[in-house]
Chains A and B, each alone.
Chain A
Amino acid sequence: MTDASANNSASGKSSLLVQDARTRNRNAVEARFKWYGITAIAIGCAFLILLVTAIAFNGSRAFRQTFVTVPVTLDAAAIEAAEASMMKTSQYRKMIEAALLTEVSEANIETDMDAGKLGDMLSSSAPAQMRDFVLANPDRIGDTVSFDFLTSSRVDGYLKGRVTRESLANDKNLDAAHLDLVDQMRDIGMVEKRFNIDFIIGSDASEERPEQAGMGVSILGSLFMMFVVLFLSLPIGVAASIYLEEFAPKSRWTDLIEVNISNLAAVPSIVFGILGVAVFIQIGHLPKSAPLVGGLVLTLMTLPTIIISTRAALKAVPPSIREAALGVGASKMQSVFHHVLPLAMPGILTGTIIGLAQALGETAPLLLIGMVGFIATNYPTGPIDGFLSPNSAMPAQIYEWAKRADPAYYERAWGGIIILLVFLLAMNVIAVILRRRFERRW
């Protein structure tokens, strides 16, 4: 006999309008549990918002860069002399510095700096930029061309609030007098902060030139790796899962394989990295730091994910569909490829894209095969070069920037994370679209 019925028999009749103690207690438990759930979700959302705002706040600055506009007269004699000398760019540097000094004095900005000292506010990439322009446009020699040179990362940092006069006290590159000049040049529009496309499409730069560094080449490195991963892991993974799920006899061997695949999914990615070094580089003699090797390592890492999700998708297809196909005399193969696989397709695609997204964000295995720390300054010349020549990848580039000493690189690491997240988001959107398109109800 329950408590409720005991109460009933004692008091004779109980009213539905009054809650008894047991019901009140149960309702209280339910209400409490709801609040636990809401609190948990609120905490999760708070962390997410914190993360997104931190990334947006810190990273967005990397997309804007400070430029100084300097009209330089391309004097034929000076250029000829520069091209004949050993240190070509230092000759170009002198031309730019002279032009900058002229421009500053013409703008009625007073300074007692000489041209060389004034030139410290320019990025060391400026001479190369001018030389590239001259080599590409020899017909413009003699004209006066207006160049937008990158300023040094300290000037950029000053405009972004990262560098102050006090912090320059011990800096041998720039001093407070430069910043006074920058303030005046900004007032007349000579120095300006604007959107810097080179951060997205440009290549990495050396430690001393953070203002010049961009993600472009490592984005390509990541894309070449993703090609390798997609074209290896999708067919291998889907074929393995179809065999295991539909054809393999249930034996101790298949059980063993299944357990091992599940375990592989939990293996730390750095283990795959060291395996890649041992197998692909030391035994296979494939080139170090190449996206091909990175792709192979990431394929090993992605395969268990794809196999597990594909098997789950195949399992979710009702067995009645298989029976129906066999019942009309279809072979096992026909039943799988005509009926089961199309129904499992959304799940397979989702699993594949999740696997790819995981691979795209993976850094640890790339550390071991030498794709981290490599300064990828040149674009690959073609597809084969893209697979085989040394390159970096997006997360590896971010890691590399984050460990460099200059705080300007710290800002770029945040910006790189925004680019990486945009790619991941795009992949998730593709997954959702594909799932919608292939989804069929039965």
Chain B
Amino acid sequence: MNDMRLIDRAVDMKDIKFSARNVQVYYGTTHAIKDVNVDIADKTVTAFIGPSGCGKSTFLRSLNRMNDTIDICRVEGDILLDGEDIYDKRVDPVQLRAKVGMVFQKPNPFPKSIYDNIAYGPRIHGLAKNKTDLDEIVESSLKRAALWNEVKDRLDAPGTGLSGGQQQRLCIARAVATQPEVLLMDEPCSALDPIATAQVEELIDELRSNFSVVIVTHSMQQAARVSQKTAFFHLGNLVEYGETGQIFTNPVDPRTESYISGRIG
């Protein structure tokens, strides 16, 4: 995983998963996201970068309507998932969130056993017909999150007893277990040490084969390492969006260039 791989990142843009058109997000009277247009491809890692407070997390959270839980938050414009408007009146956000899973900044396992952490999503969505099914889902999810070998002997142990990096991978396994189509990650490595970060990054790269992954990150190196597409946000605007290689080596907008080279942000 190093910058040398930037060259072989041709992305097939045929399958568009998310399509955002003229999206505005307001917190009360604050205009947090201004007129964002973006197409997020399937089976691709898309990174959102930008300085703190630029709105990248806000935009990410509007993709699975997590912002609904904030009373003063208001979203305008269209966000289409596979061509359907997720803010349509008929859409139940609970159903949407089963399709669009989320991993948070701080690892937040439930204070239950490792097994129950993974099994919770499949249980409430009725994904497993019986105990054997559920066991299989738990095993495959933990394997996908590269955690199986470390925890297979103590599935009854509390999830909160794991190390920080293991907890974050447990949360990823939990998100994967509900079989989402898109995985949103809000700075998933900001609370982890470099070794755990490397493990999670490797994992993200593998997840790309099954999901569309959208990751918000503060670390430009991380964006360069794991993503194929990068979007640069600044003061609520989507300044530039393109191939990761192009953004980092040959940015079009002067603001992107200043941020990448460390002059702003």
- List chain A positions with a Cβ less than 8 A from chain B: 249-250, 318, 320-331, 334, 338-339, 343, 440-442
Contact = CB atoms under 8 A, between A and B. Distances in A.
B71 A249 contact: yes
B148 interface: no
Contacts of A339: 110
B104 A327 contact: yes
A325 B175 CA distance: 10
Nearest to B69: A326
Contacts of A329: 94-95, 97-99, 101, 121, 124-125, 178
Interface residues of B, number: 28
Given A320-B104, A442-B160, A327 B97 contact: yes
A40 B143 CA distance: 60
B32 interface: no
A413 to B, nearest CB: 48
B171 interface: yes
Interface in B211-251: none
Nearest to B92: A331
A441 B178 CA distance: 26
A328 B127 CA distance: 13
A326 B101 CA distance: 9
Interface of B: 64, 66, 69, 71, 94-95, 97-99, 101-104, 106, 108-111, 120-121, 124-125, 160, 171, 174-175, 177-178
A343 B160 CA distance: 14
A249 B72 CA distance: 10
A343 B112 CA distance: 11
Contact residues of A: prevailing secondary structure: helix
Of A249, A320, A321, A330, the most chain B CB neighbours within 10 A belong to: A330
Contacts of B175: 327-328
The 9 closest A-B CB pairs, nearest first, are A329-B98, A320-B108, A327-B102, A328-B121, A442-B111, A324-B108, A329-B97, A331-B94, A440-B111
A236 to B, nearest CB: 25
Contacts of A330: 94, 120-121, 124
B178 A250 contact: no
Contacts of B94: 329-331
Contact of A250 (B71, B120, B171): B71
A326 B94 CA distance: 7
A277 B10 CA distance: 81
A60 B178 CA distance: 65
Nearest to B125: A329
Nearest to B105: A320
B97 A321 contact: no
A326 B108 contact: no
A326 B104 contact: no
Contact of A324 (B95, B109, B124): B109
Nearest to A343: B111
